[in-house]
Structure 1
Amino acid sequence: MVAIATVAIFALVQPLQGQPATVPLTDLAFFRNPGKSWQIAGDVTADLQQQNALRVSQGQGVLVNAPARKKPGQDLLTVAEYGDQDVELDFMMARGSNSGIYLQGLYEVQLADSWGETKITAASVGGIYERWDEKRPSGRQGYEGYVARQNAGRAPGLWQHLKISFQAPRFDASGKKVENAKMLWVELNGTVIHENVELSGPTRGAISSDEKATGPLRFQGDHGAVAFRN
């Protein structure tokens, strides 16, 4: 039987052994060696007069990546690892910012300020980011990216709601992969933007090229300011 974890940053419907049923955002103890750009806050707003800027208020309940000017932030990984999982959370993008959520640290659902974009790509908000192979011909290194069905993103500074149902890859007793990972569905702001998308391997920027039955949830922090809450 495969345990399914529902992570609502981070509430577990069927908690795996040793994991809390709900993880309150009161500190960063749930994460591996968090970098200085990450903090717990009480509230956050976007400075719409500046690119990539969030204003943070003291308190608890909001996870914020707010890199210093001209200094990139760091990615944030959970201590816990997950197989099949349903992820549900709110996120807020700074103006012009870019982030992402990597299921198992390997498969990215893109987060970005895509407000007003009429021609979206796999790099726009809600896209499943492309895979990458340097050995492929120039201009074709990126492949198997999946564009959201529509641009369901909201303006920077507004909270947005994301739901992901993810099926982990399957392996036989010898460790050979027998079934690819799959995004069963992804919903952004009440709109289903992906269904039954099979993932043949890790997307670009994954923490490893090796696929496993479980892995950490990873929040991209090296591209811009972003906030998350339950």
Structure 2
Amino acid sequence: MKVDFYFSYRSPYSYFILPRLKKLIEEYDVDVNFRLVYPLAIRKPSFFKNKNMLTYFFWRLLDYRKVANRHEMPFFRPKPDPIVQNILTGKISSEQPYIFYICHLGQAAHYHGQGINFAQALSNKIFGSKEGWFERKNLSKVCDSVGLNLDDLEKEANEQEAKIISDIKYNQEQQLAAGHHGVPLLVHGDQYFFGQDKFDEFLSFMHKNGMQRK
């Protein structure tokens, strides 16, 4: 059974769903296709118009902590935020030194068959650790943990930049065609399940449609 998994490196909810998705892959005969997309702040910055700390970010932070506690996962506000944004106004900066870099590394890792594993390892640093996730030593550890080398992966990401951007944009088109713009998004056939809180519903659907244990 085939499943498309749409993921963003800025989404804590994408981070929260990863352990359950990895367990699904390990235990069931299911083919999960990792589809990386740029965060909504890049795809549709107008979404954050009039959203600020009082109207949006504070309440989201409370929910992130609640979900983390429920799933017994560590959660820390990422420093730096993968997206440079003024949380007082919601305005997205025109300068984005982090998100394209890590997205392109992640897509290059996907070409090596390590898209989900790299996403989990890096998300654990971004959201699950107090360490400076963007420090080179920590990015090297992420690469090492999935059998890749940071220098080599950077070189590949630079050399294949046009293909990487094209593939990510294609993923975004397929995401919209599936019926939603959000992440995490799980899609099987013509059914989609948006949000980490829909994972149990997704699991039940897959069982009813014939998903078997390995």
Is TM > 0.5 for Structure 1 vs Structure 2? no
Give the structure-1-normalised TM-score.
0.26
Structure (1 or 2) with the greater strand fraction: 1
Q: TM-score, normalised by structure 2?
A: 0.27
User: Higher helix share goes to which structure?
Assistant: 2
Question: Higher relative CO (CA 8 A, sep ≥ 6), structure 1 or 2?
Answer: 2
